[in-house]
Structure 1
């Protein structure tokens, strides 16, 4: 048994933050409302690049059930699935949904119950790409009856074994037989159960707090679900929650305060059964259900675990996977499903006012989180899809919606880890050095001919990107900095848009004694010698040096137009 835990601990190395890719697998859990006869199931596929072809494989088909084309980056197609797509039976099933694409996409899943007027229960989740899947998963310790008791809710009279426990859907993500081992702790005794799942098929199991771990021989996706999670007022809510592999765990968490949530508890999942969760120099204490109570439920909190864990915020009908601090990202894509569209943003206090939505700086309502460098902000949005990003710092972003009778939400979709002042970057900018030395003006034309810009390291971050991208040599290269013939002031040559003003020269990396007077030159070159720290110097524009060009990053802003809709038979 020790070997199993050791393997899981070792697998925490290697972190992938983004949630885009070109291969996905998922399923729709059963969606049952006591009083609601209408349900819907959909996947939203958003292209990050132009001219993307997407194949959908459904219900065990080895050939695409449907192929769609998305011509513009940022466009979204909604795929609507029939009721028969829901996984309602225990045991094996073929109702997995595979999606493959020619270029990177993101996939978001949504399910809801509704009457003729309103959506009553909505659940969404980010479908993780295959590269984010794994072979080792820790399962949250959940007992349905104990959970209801924590929230002061009595199980309904009609509850049965079918609806009185949580479910686990395990999906084989590989085109091969997959050997599965589930690990249980029953009254202190570790028990193993093994079985096999055929290619791309799935199995659904009842589970309770005894189930600890799922291991597999090949990659799997794991969904924690409940068809009708009981809530106050004799209502229920579907639960859909994709469990992340062990490598996505962390120790430091900002626990956001979500408007409208009056009860909130924390649930940890960890390999370390002695793990503690201090807050304000006091260890939080779990109740009999293993839920941690936090002080000041109306305020955002910062907690630090004694070792790696997954941490979920739980409220009646609501499971939110918290983003550990080591998993903060630079930009996020958000999909909304109801009219009430809010985002909760965690950003560093000293740069919180630099948060953007789309291409616009956002005026959020911010509250500082005591004893931390962070603030929590609430942003109201208008579009069904948007991006939130920060040009210089990593942030965390959650969506929160309140349709009618339930609050739902979760982490937004991380698109890029590294901050970039260009926006929500899907392809980073690239520097390269030309093959032959040219004069400054010829270098400018050479970059333009290759549909690139003259390199303009306008800040320290771009300078470091340039340094890390080019090969060191004893030569020199031209950059897009020169003096004005009228004023002799230095300025950046803006090639992207001749009609827009050049950025101000606020960052320089001159070598000792540089720049020299105008007699020594009106142009600027950069040393390609690493021993010289890639310093700049002034030079005569007619000298021949290697052109340094820059291909700007590709960014994404979702198109505000209505989604294209495709029905899957």
Structure 2
């Protein structure tokens, strides 16, 4: 019991996640190929920056397949085999790059109009960990919850959920399984060689997986029974416990008439609640929520992960503390839908690509500040972004073929809202070391391939204040008066720039500023934090530190 408590004490909590990176590892679990030989397995790799070099390693090999990509470009990489045996395997896929990429996995049968499709966001190595909580799932009880009887043929080969544990590092990895069998804690240990994996059968007894090095965990089933003697593959990459939360918006997904919630937490006794009414788990550990046709707000007294489960479908729910500002969406059919959770008072600012959403059907979620929006995307592109300039949102994808529904959370790209769009690399302020005249400071920034700092709104002013070292000096910003009209205007770059000057709609003048035009045609900014980084009008020939700005790198626009 002491060992169990010690392991529990090692968990820590985090608040944010993005799913881009430069190193990934995954595997393709067995799908319906056991019944349907014509199967497909592929990765979609999307570059977020120009000049990206990508290496793909298969079966633990050291010789990669290489490709070069530009920003927004997606390549489809197919693989012939999947992990279909229990025990050890070398069949991992490792992807590395010299710049940021995202990786999306898809597995299916008979092309795009197939009997089973499952997609999965592959998490970058940065999001992996050494400690995981495992969802408590008893397969026969899970089926019974939805009124499905388990066929005899499935009792041995497909009689349980599977767990694939992938060693994400180039070193031997010591794995510890923590189980609760009849109320007693049991420990099992083994090792996994570099970049290899193991597939295990799991049931409700497995509680935790701990490791000496980073691992990736996939919860999967190759043929989860559904009504009508059909089945669907499921794949769910388990996130480390630091990405759990307490508050969730449970969306209403079109076409899903049966749904249950599965809670995973350190406290086995914890149960989430809806409208302050506790949700009681059934024999399978699943909890029913009221009004399945409406989105609901569910809370827990401590951190949990929450999955929405329907016959043939597992969807990891995004906790409120992990909402993001921009999501990348990959589609595989022409029936493309998205569910967006946004604050009601700013839902009209949600963008798809470069435009605000035009065809969203919004429904307010009672007793919350949120609304749920259902969006049908009609363009022919296989990829888009949905983002918000001033507030965090949650985005889910839902697609269906003639026989199956699939989808889940979209890929979070940037956490902090930015009116620039879907930001990959945030904007950056830089203060020069030598005092210069205003015109010299303008050219200094241009020569450094940066703009003159122009805090044109409060958000940029706050970013500037938070990102520069405070000092008793003053710095130039790109604001000056016209010699002809004496009106203030922004000057981001040198006079040779063709970029139009934005209007002056936000100011942060100190008391008594700006002074009479004869006392200053240029604007300086106090670098003293106690002075609230206030502005004042100054003679342009005085020497002050140049403040430069590198705009954010975005996907869209």
TM-score where L is the length of structure 1: 0.94
2:47 is matched with 47
Deviation of 1:456 (Å)? 0.7
1:446 alignment partner in structure 2: 444
Deviation at 1:484, TM superposition (A): 3.2
- Aligned partners of 2:493 and 2:353: how far apart in 1? 23
The residue that corresponds to 1:313 in the other structure is 308
Corresponding position: 1:368 with 2:375: no
- Contact 1:224/1:243, CA 8 A, preserved across alignment: yes
Q: Which moved more, 1:98-107 or 1:14-23?
A: 14-23
Q: 2:32 touches 2:116 (CA, 8 Å); kept in 1?
A: no
CA distance in 1, matches of 2:485, 2:316: 57
The equivalent position to 1:99 in structure 2, one of 79, 95, 104, is 95
User: In the alignment, which of 406, 409, 417 is matched to residue 407 of structure 2?
Assistant: 409
Task: Tell me the distance in 1 between the aligned counterparts of 2:405 and 2:286.
Answer: 20
Judge conservation of contact 2:13–2:244 (CA < 8 Å) in 1.
Answer: no
Give distance in 2, aligned partners of 1:367 and 1:250.
Answer: 24
Question: In the alignment, what sits opposite 2:84?
Answer: 88
- Any conservation in 2 of the 1:144–1:208 contact (CA below 8 Å)? yes
2:243 matched to 1:245?
Answer: no
Q: Secondary structure at the match of 1:147?
A: helix
Residue pairs, 1:399-548, within 5 angstroms: 399-495=397-493, 501-548=500-547
Per-residue CA deviations over 1:60-105 (Å, capped at 9, x if unaligned) read: 21232x11111x11111110001xx200111111101111111121
Among residues 119, 128, 151, which one is paired with 1:124 in the alignment? Answer: 119
Identify the residue that residue 378 of structure 1 maps to in structure 2: 374
Match for residue 202 of structure 1? 197
The Cα of 1:427 is off from its aligned counterpart by 0.9
> Secondary structure at 2:7's aligned position in 1?
helix
Name stretches of at least 5 consecutive residues in structure 2 with no aligned partner: none
Between the aligned partners of 1:400 and 1:113, the Cα distance in structure 2 is 18
Q: What SS does the aligned partner of 2:162 have?
A: strand
TM-score between the two structures when normalised by the length of structure 2: 0.96
- The whole-number CA distance in structure 2 between the counterparts of 1:86 and 1:201 is 13
In structure 2, the partner of 1:565 is: none
Deviation of 1:11 (Å):
2.1
Aligned to 1:566: none
**Secondary structure, counterpart of 1:309 in structure 2:** strand
Is the CA contact 1:331–1:416 (under 8 Å) kept in the aligned structure 2? yes
Match among 110, 113, 117 for residue 114 of structure 1: 110
In the alignment, does 2:134 pair up with 1:147? no
* Alignment partners' CA distance in 2, 1:171 and 1:459: 46
The alpha-carbon deviation at position 544 of structure 1 amounts to 2.2
| 1:421 Cα deviation after fit | 1.0
Alignment partner, residue 224 of structure 2: 229
Residue 561 of structure 1 is matched in structure 2 by none
**1:394 Cα deviation after fit:** 1.1
Residues 181-235 of structure 1 deviation map (CA, whole Å, 9 limit, x = unaligned) = 1122222222221111111111111111111111111111111111111111211
Question: 1:219 is paired with a residue of what secondary structure?
Answer: strand
Aligned mates of 2:110, 2:276 — CA distance in 1 = 45
Match of residue 77 from structure 2? 79
Equivalent position SS for 1:160: helix
- What stretches of structure 1 of length at least 5 have no aligned partner? 559-569
CA drift at 1:15: 4.5
The answer on whether the counterparts of 1:9 and 1:271 sit within 8 Å (CA) in structure 2 is no
Post-superposition shift, 1:2?
4.2
Count of residues in Structure 1 that have an aligned counterpart in Structure 2 = 553
1:190 aligned residue = 185
Over residues 374-414 of structure 1, what are the superposed CA-to-partner deviations in whole Å (9 max), with x where a residue is unaligned? 11112222221111111111111111111221111111111
